[in-house]
Structure 1
Amino acid sequence: MARIQLLPPELANKIAAGEVVERPASVVKELVENALDAGATRIDVQLVDAGKTLIRVADNGEGMDRDDLKLAFEAHATSKLETVEDLFHVLTHGFRGEALASIQSVSRTTIITRRADSPVALQLESGGGTQHEIREAAGGFGTVVEVRDLFFNVPARRRWLKGDSTEFSHVVALMQAIAAANPEVGVSLTHGERKAFEVPPGQTQPERVKSLYGDKFSDGMLELHDYEAYGRLDGYIAPPSVHRPNSKGLLLFVNRRPIKDRSLVQAVILAYREFLPPGRYPMAVLFIEVPPDSVDVNVHPAKTEVRLLEQNRIFSLIKSALSEKLINSGVLPGIKLGAPTAYPQARPDSPFEPTWDVPSSKARIFNDASEQQARDAEHRWSEARRVLEDAVGPTVS
């Protein structure tokens, strides 16, 4: 008897679920992305017990017919890829065909779906990998997926989940990011009887960002738009006066896909580094658009990490665009980026005359012609030039 054997589908799906389904937010992500790929313009998410008891995602997308629904819970069944070449030009959020198979293996899942050309809706149920027959049901156009009792058959995974407030915070952050990247789609999130947030369809990108991230961010929000042959950057950033104790306020998207990338986050931090108190982080929402064949989205189970062909150039684009916007915006007193200017050089035998406004309480620093004070002033000017050149490149002589 062979020692190596094929795993039963039920076991294989549970193993796959360990990577795809980490927590309730993972389920919400997969279901909402399916709704987006189905062309939905309205997505409503409802949770009970932060998603541990119930996750319900309803959309008005194109729905599924009977043949599609038969394969919905099958592993590696997808409508989004046909050939190997398609993997290098991914234009959809999902593409592996693993999500529903993994979700239904660790929960009790029900799909109710109806296409516009169908007189009735269809329903399919599965519990812990056991699939039932398709039957007719009442339902509107689009798809509703209900996921109940997450990890009911994997007790160790269920015990690993955090408290409701923590799990719900992960869902909120996820849904805000998805809503930010899709301003044309109406999105709502409800927890129990309380609506966490709702945004209408048909918003512009700036309107969507402002409606999601509050007055403190939006009142002083700066917009930036820059592009090169290898990519485009559209950003919405807070002035340096608005900052956080961590980097959770930095949101990055590549081709509308929320991503985590330490290198690109560092580009944002470097652009702000001279303008924030130590240990504080800026707030920014950055949308990067690149050709589909220049980004590999198939490098992480949750698809939150990507590989960019022009990673170094994108890094430089972010850093330079943010630095220039911050300096030219007027939010940094005393510094304006413009044409190169000849600045006077401080010398020990002459007082240093700054070209920016100096508070009267500090005027003595520059008016005292003592040798030591002049040297101090020269050092200060050199430091100021270094900061500016680090931020935007050499601009002074």
Structure 2
Amino acid sequence: MSAGIRHLPDQLVNQIAAGEVIERPSSALKELIENALDAGAQQVSIELSEGGLAGLSVSDNGQGMSRDELPLAVQRHATSKLPSDDLFDIRFFGFRGEALPSIGSVSVLRLTSRQPAADHSWALTVSHGKSGEPEPAAGEPGTRVEITDLFASVPARLKFLKTRKTEAAQCYDVVRRFAMSRPDVSFLLTDTGRTVLHLPQQDQSDAGFARRLSEILGPVFARESVPIAAEKPGMSLSGYAGLPTMNRPTTTQIYLFVNGRPVRDRQLLGAVRAGYQDMLPRGRHPVIVLFLTIETDAVDVNVHPAKAEVRFRDAGSVRGLFVGALSSALRAAGMQATGEGGEAALRQFSSSPTAGSGRPYTSSYPAHSPSQHSLTAAQAFQSP
């Protein structure tokens, strides 16, 4: 017979919550970068130790926190990012108030912060769910969060971590995605003393966005991609789609954003595949960067613990926008051969449906031709 019903201890509750949100070092890193951007940071510095397995830290020059705010920051469901009770009016990356307490329940977390007008920083340490008191500390304006001993209190979770190389790659990918979304913010990523990424701040222009993408994806993508620009009432789609001959064996270079938030959403992945229709060889995936801007009350970002998936009020309309914009732009580009694919890859494409696939998907929405604004960006991106 089971024991009687009882309330779970707060530390165990936090560890359960951490299991949903913090799966690996990259999960913790994602939450910390979101906090930095929500705080208005223009500079974000990430330090990994052994690919994040031995520890990681994120420093920013955002607005910082006061002494009295530090204890609140490590308590569950305490947040400054949800000014109303409307979960369909979310304008920040974070809003649940669970990231820091979840991380602190399964690691040693040290939080150091200073507001611009303050004389000094304040620091607070949380060790596997047990929080200390704020104490004076040295530090520049902004916030620094250091994480060590991740999952030391939950050995079962440690067993599921992969090799240093794999965990590091996951962390690098998180930084790249946020850097694409925010070219106006500088990012510095180091791993065990080695500089992995150094992305200077760009101006908020088409050319600045183009430079950021080129820094991350390289000159080949700049040459072998087409601009995407389309809109429907209440939503718009923009970005760059790699030509079909520039393809990969996995979906790791499909970069999708909803209102600036990086997502890995199955609905949107399906829409991307439909947009390329029969232009890709079987088992291959495109290199693509797409930004969907949609009214906040038309999308729910609160359907996944890590906010990686979203739910749309009118999913069919979103799919139609993706498919129409992609298929029109790619076919207009003529599917030129690239240095990576060449004629051999082009021979694998067919302009007719593959056997057994039925009629190719046809969107009822005619995608708009790229605007002058987008063409200007494309020219800047694709220039030598």
2:18 is the counterpart of 1:14: no
Is the CA contact 1:244–1:283 (under 8 Å) kept in the aligned structure 2? yes
TM-score by length of 2: 0.85
Describe the shift of the 1:238–1:230 C-alpha distance in structure 2 as closer, same or farther (beyond 3 A): same
Aligned residue in 2 for 1:126: 126
- Counterpart-to-counterpart distance in 2, 1:244 and 1:134: 49
Deviation at 1:392, TM superposition (A): 6.8
Match for residue 160 of structure 2?
Answer: 160
Is the contact between residue 326 and residue 332 of structure 1 (CA under 8 Å) also seen in structure 2? no
- 1:191 is displaced (CA, Å) by 0.7
How far does residue 60 in structure 1 lie from its aligned partner after superposition?
0.5
- State whether residues 274 and 361 of structure 2, in contact with CA within 8 Å, keep that contact through their aligned partners in structure 1: no
1:178 aligns with 2:182: no
- Structure number with the bigger relative contact order (C-alpha 8 A, sep ≥ 6) is 2
SS, match of residue 202 in structure 2: coil
Preserved CA contact (<8 Å) 2:38 2:93: yes
Are 1:211 and 2:215 counterparts?
yes
Aligned twin of 2:261: 257
TM-score (norm 1): 0.82
Query: Which deviates the most, 166-175 or 324-333?
Result: 324-333
Aligned to 1:148: 148
- Counting only pairs closer than 5 Å after superposition, residues 29-40 of structure 1 correspond to structure 2 as 29-40=30-41
The answer to whether residue 27 in structure 2 is matched with residue 23 in structure 1 is no
Q: Which letter maps to 1:63?
A: G
Give the deviation of 1:282 after TM superposition.
1.3
Amino acid aligned to 1:302:
A
d(CA) in 1 for partners of 2:39 and 2:325? 35
**Per the alignment, do residues 4 and 200 of structure 1 end up closer, same or farther by CA in structure 2, a change over 3 Å counting?**
same
CA offsets per residue over residues 177-228 of structure 1, 9 Å max, x none? Answer: 1111111111121110211112111242222222111122222221111111
1 CA distance for matches of 2:365 and 2:134?
67
Equivalent pair of 1:324/1:392 in contact (CA under 8 Å):
no
Instruction: Look up the SS of the partner of 1:160 in the other structure.
Output: coil
Q: Give the C-alpha shift of residue 382 in structure 1.
A: 8.3
Once the 2 structures are TM-superposed, how far is the Cα of residue 163 of structure 1 from its aligned partner?
Answer: 0.8
Residue 136 of structure 1 pairs with residue 136 of structure 2: yes
Q: Provide Cα deviations, 1:146-201, integer angstroms capped at 9, x if missing partner.
A: 00110111111112211101111111111111111111111121110211112111
Q: Is the 8 A contact 1:107 1:149 kept in 2?
A: yes
SS at match of 1:102: helix
Which of the residues 211, 214, 225 maps onto 1:221?
225
Q: Is the 8 A contact 2:278 2:352 kept in 1?
A: no
Match 1:248 to one of 235, 246, 252: 252
2:352 and 2:55 map into 1 onto residues whose CA distance is 61
Q: Which residue of 2 aligns with 1:350?
A: none
> Once the two structures are superposed, what CA deviation does each residue of 1:39-83 show, in whole Å capped at 9, x if it has no partner?
001101111122122111000000001121121111111111244
Percent of aligned positions with the same letter in both sequences?
A: 40
Conservation of the 8 A alpha-carbon contact between 1:323 and 1:391: no
SS of the equivalent of 1:111 reads strand
Aligned partner letter, 1:274: D
Aligned to 1:293: 297
2:165 partner SS = helix
Instruction: Give me the whole-angstrom Cα distance separating, in 2, the residues matched to 1:151 and 1:238.
Output: 39
CA contact (8 A) 2:124 2:133 kept: yes
Q: Distance in 1 between matches of 2:252 and 2:177?
A: 11
User: Partners in 2 of 1:271 and 1:120 — Cα distance?
Assistant: 53
Task: Please give the alpha-carbon distance, in whole angstroms, between the structure 1 residues aligned to 2:351 and 2:188.
Answer: 52
Match of 1:312 among 309, 316, 321: 316
Q: Is the 8 A contact 2:278 2:351 kept in 1?
A: no
> Residue by residue, what CA displacement relative to the aligned partner does 1:324-374 show, whole Å, maximum 9, x if unpaired?
1112224359xxxxxxxxxxxxxxxxxxxxxxxxxxxxxxxxxxxxxxxxx
Question: Residues of 2 paired with 1:290 and 1:137: CA distance?
Answer: 42
Q: Is the 8 A contact 1:230 1:310 kept in 2?
A: no
More moved, 235-244 vs 199-208: 199-208
Q: Distance in 1 between matches of 2:131 and 2:329?
A: 55
The 1-side partners of 2:191 and 2:173 are apart by 14
Mind listing any 5+ residue stretches in structure 1 that lack a counterpart?
334-379
Q: Name the counterpart of 2:98.
A: 98
Measure, in 2, the Cα distance between the counterparts of 1:151 and 1:393: 50
Contact 1:323 1:392 in 2 (8 A): no
CA 1:162 to 1:389, structure 2 compared with 1: closer, same or farther past 3 Å?
Answer: closer
CA drift at 1:268: 1.6
Match of 2:202 in 1: 202
- Alpha-carbon separation, structure 2, partners of 1:290 and 1:276: 28
- Asked if 1 retains the 8 angstrom alpha-carbon contact of 2:324 and 2:365, the reply is no
More moved, 94-103 vs 76-85: 76-85
The question of whether the paired residues in 1 share the 8 Å contact of 2:202 and 2:212 is answered with: no
Q: Return closer, same or farther for 1:226/1:387 CA change in 2, 3 Å cut-off.
A: farther
Q: Distance in 2 between matches of 1:293 and 1:390?
A: 28
Query: What does residue range 336-351 of structure 1 map to in structure 2 within 5 Å?
Result: none
Looking at secondary structure, tell me which structure has more helix per residue.
1
How many residues align? The count is: 346
Structure 2 CA distance for partners of 1:118 and 1:314, relative to 1, 3 Å: same
Distance of aligned partners of 1:83 and 1:145 in 2 relative to their CA distance in 1, 3 Å threshold: same
